[in-house]
Structure 1
Amino acid sequence: MKYQTRKKALILLADGTIFYGKAVGGKEGSAFGEVCFNTGMTGYQEIFTDPSYFGQLMVTTNAHIGNYGTNVDEVESDSVKIAGLICRNFSYHHSRYSADDSLESFLDKNNLLAISDVDTRALVSYIRDHGAMNAVISTDVDNIDGLKKQLAEVPDMNGLELASKVSTKEPYFFGDENATYKISALDIGIKKNILRHLAERDCYIKVFPYDTTYEEMATFNPDGYFLSNGPGDPEPLTQSIATAKDILQTGAPLFGICLGHQVLALANGISTYKMHNGHRGINHPIKNLLTGKGEITSQNHGFAINREETEAHGDVEITHVHLNDHTVAGIRLKGKPVFSVQYHPEASPGPHDATYLFDQFLENIKNAKLEKAH
């Protein structure tokens, strides 16, 4: 059987630490990226196709991956975005009536290197203690020195602009053109489920490339603007930040998610920083400071906005906080229909506790239209 003859493989971390495993299927080679972990029990296909994970080696903490196969409707972009997969037990056989393919076949079609039989508990504990860092997964187990030299050439995620790698090249439309509301969305790594949520709320969306100016986005004559999620460091996104600043000058409704939240903060002079190992999973606890209610949320980010600077900002109010480490999880601008969150209210995968934020965005749009009418 194929898994009895699988090649030996390894994970080499930037600090020289090595973990061993076996290649999934017959694939050979090496894959480089920042190693990170996701604690979700389900949703691996959505995670693998999420543009926010571009260039990262994904460690899944759930012990079994692939057991329910894949389905064409459960992708968040047009291709796999992670750089490689690291897991404990890889299931070559799946058992779900709605699956249309195996995970092995799905990964093969996307030319993705995956390794299994790794002590993922030990690896995750190491990353948690020492922080996210660059790594390589490889079947070239006898070439440690060569892999170390190649790994040293991989750029650090801090300061790395990746939105251009995943953003659309040309504007496109999503939803019903006869919908009541029009949204101009800046694609810095947008997930399909965000567009679905907006379309379900009677919105017609025009999606623009990451480096689009406000003037170009305004040609759609939208009722509101959206800043998407995405990968990498937000600080190099100078055009996206400038576009957000220009939108703010108009007073139009604006909603940002994840990287879009960080871009909005930078547009208001609030700095961002790289986290020790980030938040990635579908069970992260958030407190809504406006309602006092808790939310269990889907998260995927390695950067956050500066809390002290946010608290000191006269025009910005913190609306949500992460209950594990008290990082800023949401902000709004005082006196403007503008807000953002550091997590994923569209989930996919994850709980639906935060979908009300899309309704809040639509409420802001409706109120703005009423004000304009009067």
Structure 2
Amino acid sequence: MSYSGSIPTNGTAQAVLVLEDGKRFVGKAYGATGQTLGEIVFATGMTGYQETLTDPSYAGQIVLMTAPHIGNTGANDTDMESARIWVSGFVVREPSRTVSNFRSQRSLDDDLESNNVVGISGIDTRAITRHIRSAGAMRAGIFSGDFLKLSDSEQLELVQNAAQMRGRNLSDDVSTVDPYSLPAQGERIGSVAVLDLGVKKSTLNYLAERGFEVLVLPQTVTAKDVLSLNPDALFFSNGPGDPAASDAHVDLLQECLRAGLPYFGICFGNQLLGRALGFRTYKLPFGHRGINQPVLDKATGRVEITSQNHGFAVDMPIEGELDSRAGFGRVEVSHYSLNDKVVEGIRCLDIPAFSVQYHPESAAGPHDANHLFDRFRDVVMAHQNAAGAGDSK
């Protein structure tokens, strides 16, 4: 939650970052001035800061960039992953003093100020990153402008009273209010119902490029609503919050899986598939965020460098076939992280459903996992052919 202050950013105004455990870092105001609270997390991408800022998965979080220089290439309309910036706050070591890119339409500072994003610069982001890796993600606040008049204890009290990410459902904050659609590009192979839990523009475009008519639905829809559209497949997007707080979405997914709909989920959609299959989820100490996360595809033995943003994961053993505790047959972990062996993908062996924890659309790169959209198309077409063969008998 952010509040715009009354003092404009001038590049020299002071700001302070306060962590839940009492640590304080004094720097310069960056972007809008005021007060903001959220869970502080770090993102390791050296590029793609605009895609990070406009990713709805970061709602409720203060994002710290580990790359030391941010803003070099400015900002533009093309690289927006949604209609606005979603982060609660922004922390950088050194903002770029100049913008140098032929695609730039404005500076990053302009975007931060126009979106009322309270930020801080000129602090030791490496030290903060090392602290988060040791102590774990925690609540934090950035204070500048009039809010510097608060005492240290008053600022810390605000941080410690802020909402925690565990148990928090943020889908309603980021989802579309009204349904909308994108036409299939090229030969139409069918329609896919997309549950918008914080979906990114690139994801929708990649689905449309595979021949899907894309039906984007609010997170409030029911299974009856989805099935009434008679889609050829179902897709759950990325999104913020705790998957353990999304029981309604789990129920919706289970009903659609029982109805035989092919399913593909990414990030939050992976966690919800895990829950729908009967497994639990848990909070990671500091999560995976950035565009350089190594993942092993068990089927091919190939290592893919992936884009990720998640603070929760599915609790499953990474080896062997398992029986779904919810009655969906055999399942297995298809991908796992090479950094810490966290589950990064799930494959159902008896129903047409799979998911990955990372973001295969990865607009800022790398594109190692983009082939998963082709795989989804193949799964849907195979299901259509099998259904057609059954109907002809």
TM-score normalized by the length of structure 1: 0.96
CA shift in 2, pair 1:343/1:221, >3 Å: same
Please say if 1:152 is aligned against 2:130: no
What residue number does 1:342 align with? 357
Please say if 1:17 is aligned against 2:23: yes
Please say if 1:90 is aligned against 2:105: no
Q: Confirm or deny: 8 A CA contact 1:310 1:317 kept in the other structure.
A: yes
What residue number does 1:277 align with? 286
Query: Counterpart amino acid of 1:354?
Result: A
Q: Confirm or deny: 8 A CA contact 1:92 1:104 kept in the other structure.
A: no
What residue number does 2:49 align with? 44
Please say if 1:165 is aligned against 2:173: yes
Q: Which moved more, 1:48-57 or 1:311-320?
A: 311-320
SS in 2 for 1:207: strand
CA shift in 2, pair 1:310/1:54, >3 Å: farther
Q: 1:287 aligns with which of 267, 280, 296?
A: 296
Between the aligned partners of 2:190 and 2:250, the Cα distance in structure 1 is 24
For 1:177-206, what per-residue CA distance to the aligned partner results, in whole angstroms no more than 9, with x for missing partners? 983320001111111110010011111111
Please say if 1:29 is aligned against 2:38: no
Q: Confirm or deny: 8 A CA contact 2:267 2:357 kept in the other structure.
A: yes
Between the aligned partners of 1:240 and 1:176, the Cα distance in structure 2 is 26
Q: Confirm or deny: 8 A CA contact 2:193 2:235 kept in the other structure.
A: yes
Task: Return the offset for 1:311.
Answer: 5.6
Identity between Structure 1 and Structure 2 (%): 41
Task: Return the offset for 1:282.
Answer: 0.5
Task: Return the offset for 1:309.
Answer: 9.3
What residue number does 1:204 align with? 213
Between the aligned partners of 1:310 and 1:227, the Cα distance in structure 2 is 25
Between the aligned partners of 1:310 and 1:242, the Cα distance in structure 2 is 27
Q: Confirm or deny: 8 A CA contact 2:92 2:125 kept in the other structure.
A: yes
What residue number does 1:79 align with? 84
What residue number does 2:122 align with? 117
For 1:85-117, what per-residue CA distance to the aligned partner results, in whole angstroms no more than 9, with x for missing partners? 000001242000111111111111111111110
Task: Return the offset for 1:123.
Answer: 0.6
Count of residues in correspondence between the two structures: 372
Q: 1:60 aligns with which of 60, 65, 68?
A: 65
For 1:323-362, what per-residue CA distance to the aligned partner results, in whole angstroms no more than 9, with x for missing partners? 0000111011112110000001101222110011111100
Between the aligned partners of 1:310 and 1:212, the Cα distance in structure 2 is 35
Task: Return the offset for 1:78.
Answer: 1.0
Q: Confirm or deny: 8 A CA contact 2:318 2:332 kept in the other structure.
A: no
Task: Return the offset for 1:373.
Answer: 1.2
Please say if 1:135 is aligned against 2:162: no
Between the aligned partners of 1:4 and 1:310, the Cα distance in structure 2 is 55
Between the aligned partners of 2:227 and 2:260, the Cα distance in structure 1 is 13
TM-score normalized by the length of structure 2: 0.91
Please say if 1:364 is aligned against 2:372: no
Q: Which moved more, 1:325-334 or 1:177-186?
A: 177-186
Mind listing any 5+ residue stretches in structure 1 that lack a counterpart? Answer: none
Between the aligned partners of 2:374 and 2:43, the Cα distance in structure 1 is 28
Task: Return the offset for 1:219.
Answer: 2.0
For 1:277-304, what per-residue CA distance to the aligned partner results, in whole angstroms no more than 9, with x for missing partners? 0000101101100111110100100000
CA shift in 2, pair 1:3/1:301, >3 Å: same
Between the aligned partners of 1:16 and 1:309, the Cα distance in structure 2 is 37
Task: Return the offset for 1:312.
Answer: 7.1
SS in 1 for 2:207: helix
Between the aligned partners of 2:275 and 2:97, the Cα distance in structure 1 is 45
Between the aligned partners of 1:163 and 1:3, the Cα distance in structure 2 is 32
Q: Confirm or deny: 8 A CA contact 1:329 1:342 kept in the other structure.
A: yes
SS in 2 for 1:350: coil
Between the aligned partners of 1:318 and 1:183, the Cα distance in structure 2 is 24
Between the aligned partners of 1:65 and 1:130, the Cα distance in structure 2 is 25
Task: Return the offset for 1:146.
Answer: 1.4
For 1:41-62, what per-residue CA distance to the aligned partner results, in whole angstroms no more than 9, with x for missing partners? 0000000000000010010011
Please say if 1:255 is aligned against 2:270: no
CA shift in 2, pair 1:3/1:236, >3 Å: closer
CA shift in 2, pair 1:19/1:104, >3 Å: same
Q: Confirm or deny: 8 A CA contact 1:92 1:102 kept in the other structure.
A: no
